[in-house]
Amino acid sequence: MNVMEAIKNRRSIRKYQNKPVEKEKLNSVLEAARLAPSARNRQEWQFIVVQDKQTREKLSIAANNQAFVSQAPVVIACCGLDDGYLMRCGQPATTVDLSIAIDHMTLKAVEEGLGSCWIGSFYKDEVKKILGIPKDIQVVELLTLGYPAENPDTRDRKNLEEIVRWDKW
């Protein structure tokens, strides 16, 4: 599978098979995150891999009671040092860097036959409490991971002409 195929095939999966993710596939997805670029090569990220059912159930409640969070065999809490570092363009490096790493994971998951879903709707203080995350660490996203039990249709996307400007606004 090439990158464009992975991009075209990636979907937000909210139904998972009751099947564990093999260690080698999970490590492959995590390796994709490790290889992601980061501002000034800081690599200020940490990934908490949650496979324990009871912990996933607690995370599901902290994620606005989204049941599929507990049904996914893996939930990855994507965290970074919350040191306030802004890139010269004014964007927070931690959020941008982790977004790139998470996207790498979602695409690698497709290649491995896995599904994933970005979860941004969660109560960060609850997640930090559940996972014992220190105060100076930011939880940027949760990522569910597992074998899909659904195959959602593609969603409409705007045409390039609607989103691209050439040379100036």
CATH of the domain at 28: 3.40.109.10
Instruction: Write out pLDDT tens, residues 40-78.
Output: 999 999 999 999 999 999 999 999 999 999 999 999 999
Residue 167 within a domain: no
pTM confidence score: 0.95
Residue 73 lies in a domain: yes
**C-alpha torsion sign, points 63, 76, 155, 20:** negative
Predicted confidence at residue 134, as pLDDT, reads 96
pLDDT at 83: 86
**Percent of the chain scoring above 90 in pLDDT:** 95
Considering the domain boundaries, does residue 5 fall inside one? no
* Residue 162 counted as domain residue: no
With a CB cutoff of 8 Å and minimum separation 6, the contacts of 122 are 59, 62, 63, 64, 139, 142
Structurally, how many domains does the chain consist of?
1
Among 60, 94, 90, which residue's Cα sits nearest to residue 75? 60
Give me the helix-helix angle, 93-111 and 23-34, nearest 10°.
140
Q: What is the pLDDT of residue 31?
A: 98
Q: Which two tokens stand for residue 75?
A: 């939930």
Q: What is the per-residue pLDDT for 109?
A: 98
Q: Flag whether 121 is in a domain.
A: yes
- Residues 124 and 61: their CA atoms lie apart, in Å, by 12
Residue 166 in any domain: the answer is: no
Residue ranges with strand state E in the chain: 45-50, 74-81, 115-119, 137-146
Residue pair 93/38 in contact by the 8 Å Cβ criterion: yes
Q: Give residue 105's pLDDT.
A: 98
Q: Is 59 within a domain?
A: yes
Has residue 107 been placed in a domain? yes
> pLDDT under 70 in the chain at which residues?
none
* Whole-angstrom distance, CA of residue 13 vs CA of residue 72: 9
- What is the extent of the structural domain holding 34? 10-151
